[in-house]
Amino acid sequence: MSGTLAVYRKELSGYFRSPIAYYVVAVFLLGTGYFFLYNVFLTGETGMAATFQNMGMLLVTLAPVVSMRLLAAEYGAGTAELLLTLPLAPWQIVAGKFLGAVTILLAMAAGTLVDLVPLYLFGAPETTTLLAGYLGLVLLGMACLAIGLLCSALTENQIVAALLTVAVLLALWFVGHLETFQRSAALRGLVGYLSFAQHFGDFIRGLVRTEGVAYFLIVCAAALTASASVLQWRR
């Protein structure tokens, strides 16, 4: 555990000593702020549903920027030779790095809480729906980061890692659209189940379904386990 914690602390200080964390959080908050103002003041929405939808899309495009350096940069800079020869199991490296990235995600989500102030001041939003939306946002972000971590383990090039992650995340976000083209009910069900957008949509509507929570957690677990295996395999 202390190894994981040491990696986590190193990751965080790495994030905040480079412009990446500031850039990602700033772009996310600017984007979210714009969409919030648009949705609330121009289209007259009294909740966060549309804003959450936009936040989900923003997250899918920004998560690769956070995750691309996680392991690719270690291989590229030669520090993997330190990390993999220290007394650390691959899962400890993966867990420490993932938690570091999730902390950035939480900072991004926390920054958007400021949007709730006018909602509560001038309206009566449903708190449980908002909580469900935030839970969905964090779970979606965790799944995106876990997939990004796996892509980052596969290459030494951060740009390649980012492009790979964007491709996988966009595919998982839009895969639900294939539902209408499927004749078989089983395939329709599978395509729908794989869709990030559909599960996230449930959370936005205030529905915290076990199926949705389990889906995002399974994606995280599978991607993190695969990342640890890739580290081991690359030896």
Phi, psi of 208 (to 5 degrees): -95, 95
User: Residue 94 Cβ, how far from another protein at the closest point, in Å?
Assistant: 14
- Choose which of 1, 44, 87, 124 interacts with another protein (CB under 8 A): 87
Tokens for 37?
A: 């103002």
208 within 8 A of 135, measured Cβ to Cβ: yes
**For residue 196, with 0-12 CB atoms within 10 Å meaning exposed, 13-18 middle and 19 or more buried, which class applies?**
buried
CA distance 209 to 28: 27
- Choose which of 43, 85, 180, 184 interacts with another protein (CB under 8 A): 85
Only one of the segments 38-46, 72-80, 156-164, 177-185 lies at the binding site for another protein (rule: CB under 8 A); that segment is 72-80
Site string for another protein, 17-46 (x = CB under 8 A): xx----------------------------
User: Residue 64 Cβ, how far from another protein at the closest point, in Å?
Assistant: 20
CA Rg value for the chain:
18
128 binds another protein (CB under 8 A): no
User: Residue 110 Cβ, how far from another protein at the closest point, in Å?
Assistant: 23
178 within 8 A of 98, measured Cβ to Cβ: no
- Choose which of 26, 30, 37, 82 interacts with another protein (CB under 8 A): 82
CA distance 18 to 128: 36
Looking only at residues 156 through 195 of this chain, which bind another protein when binding is defined by CB under 8 A? none
Q: Which is nearer to another protein, 15 or 36 (CB)?
A: 15
- Within a 10 A sphere around the Cβ of 87, how many other Cβ atoms? 6
| Contacting positions for another protein (CB under 8 A) | 2-3, 5-7, 9-10, 13-14, 17-18, 77-89, 235
